[in-house]
Structure 1
Amino acid sequence: METRSAKRRKLRNPNYSSENYTGDDRITDLPDAILHHILLLLPIKSIVQTSILSKRWRTLWYTFPDLDFTTIIPPGTDYFTKNANLKNLVNGNVITRILSLRDNLSDVRTLRFHACMSFSGLQTLIRKAVRLRVQELDIRVETSDTINFPRSIITHDCLRVLKMKAYAGFRLPPSRLMRSAFQTLETLSLSYVNLSNQSSVPEIFTDCSFPQLKTLHLKSCYDFNYLRVGCRLLEELVIKRCSLLQGLEILSPRLVTLNVSSCFGAYSIYNTWFQIDAPRLHTLIWVDNRITSKNSMQNLVCLHEATVGFHVTQQDLSAERLQSLSSFLSGLSHAVFLTLERQFVEIMSKNDPLVAVFFNPFVKVNSLELQTSEVLCLASVLKACPFVPKLIIKITNSYKRERRRNRLSWDLSSSWEEKHWESQTRDLKPLLHNLKVVKIQGFSEYDISLVKFLLLHGKVLQDLILYFGEDNSRGYPRHEKLKSRIMGFPRGSADAKLAFH
Structure 2
Amino acid sequence: MAVVRGGALVRVASSGNKRARITSQMEDKADRLSELPEHLIDHILLLLSIKDAVKTSMLSRKWRYRWTTLPELVFDDLRTPTSSDAQSSNSVLGKIISDVLLIHTGPLRKFVISHKKFHADSDISRWCYYLSRVSLKELVLNFSVSPWCKIPSSLFSCQELVCLNLCSCSINLPTTFGGFKHLKRMELSSCLVSQDGLERLILSCPLLENMMLKNVDRQISPLHISAPKLRHLGLYGTVNLKDVSFGANHLTSGVISFSVDINEDGVAHVNQSYSSFINFFSQLPLIARLSVGRYLLKVLACN
Equivalent residue in structure 2 for 1:214, among 182, 205, 209: 209
SS in 1 for 2:108: coil
CA RMSD of aligned residues (A): 3.5
Structure-2 residue corresponding to 1:68: 74
- Over 3 Å counting, the alpha-carbon distance change for 1:93 and 1:7 in structure 2 is same
Letter in 1 for 2:100: I
Separation (CA, whole Å) in 2 of partners of 1:213 and 1:300: 17
State the partner residue of 2:166. Answer: 164
Alpha-carbon distance in structure 1 between the residues aligned to 2:92 and 2:245: 39
- Structure with greater contact order relative to length (CA < 8 Å, sep ≥ 6): 2
2:73 aligned counterpart, secondary structure = strand
Number of residue pairs the alignment of both structures matches: 269
Instruction: Give, as a single letter, the amino acid of the residue that structure 2 aligns with 1:191.
Output: S
Provide Cα deviations, 1:391-442, integer angstroms capped at 9, x if missing partner: xxxxxxxxxxxxxxxxxxxxxxxxxxxxxxxxxxxxxxxxxxxxxxxxxxxx
Aligned to 2:223: 227
Is 2:35 aligned against 1:29? yes
**2 CA distance for matches of 1:194 and 1:310?**
27
Amino acid at match of 1:137: L
1:131 aligns with 2:133: yes
* Structure of greater Rg: 1
1:41–1:90 distance in 2 versus 1, CA, 3 Å: same
Compared with structure 1, are the counterparts of its residues 6 and 161 closer, same or farther at alpha carbon in structure 2 (3 Å cutoff)?
A: farther
Contact 1:7–1:24 (CA<8 Å) still a contact in 2? no
Q: Please say if 1:58 is aligned against 2:82.
A: no
Q: 1:201 touches 1:227 (CA, 8 Å); kept in 2?
A: no
Q: Are 1:41 and 2:43 counterparts?
A: no
- Residue 189 of structure 2 aligns to a residue whose secondary structure is strand
Equivalent position of 1:428 in the other structure? none
- 1 CA distance for matches of 2:285 and 2:21? 68
Higher helix share: 2
Structure 1: runs of 5+ lacking an equivalent: 12-22, 267-287, 313-340, 349-353, 355-501
User: 1:218-257 deviations in whole A, cap 9, x for unaligned?
Assistant: 1111222221111122122112112566500133533222
Q: In percent, how many aligned pairs have the same letter? A: 24
* TM superposition score normalised by structure 1: 0.47
SS, match of residue 158 in structure 1: coil
Amino acid at match of 2:250: R
Structure 2 length as normaliser, TM-score?
0.73
Give the distance between the partners of 2:30 and 2:163, measured in 1 at CA.
40
State which of 146, 149, 152 in structure 1 corresponds to 2:148: 146
Cα separation, partners in 2 of 1:225 and 1:303, compared to 1, 3 Å = closer
Q: Counterparts in 2 of 1:90-129, with a 5 A limit?
A: 91-102=93-104, 105-114=105-114, 116-129=118-131
Whole-angstrom distance in 2 between the partners of 1:59 and 1:203: 44
Residue equivalent to 1:186: 184
Assess if the C-alpha contact under 8 Å between 2:245 and 2:283 holds in 1: no
2:267 corresponds to:
none
AA partner of residue 79 (structure 2): I
CA contact (8 A) 1:229 1:251 kept: yes
Paired residues of 1:52 and 1:58 also in contact (CA < 8 A): yes
Kept in 1, the 8 Å contact 2:211–2:230? The answer is yes
Which one of the candidate residues 272, 280, 300 is aligned to 1:290? Answer: 272
Please list every run of 5 or more consecutive structure 2 residues that lacks an aligned counterpart in the other structure: 1-19, 262-269
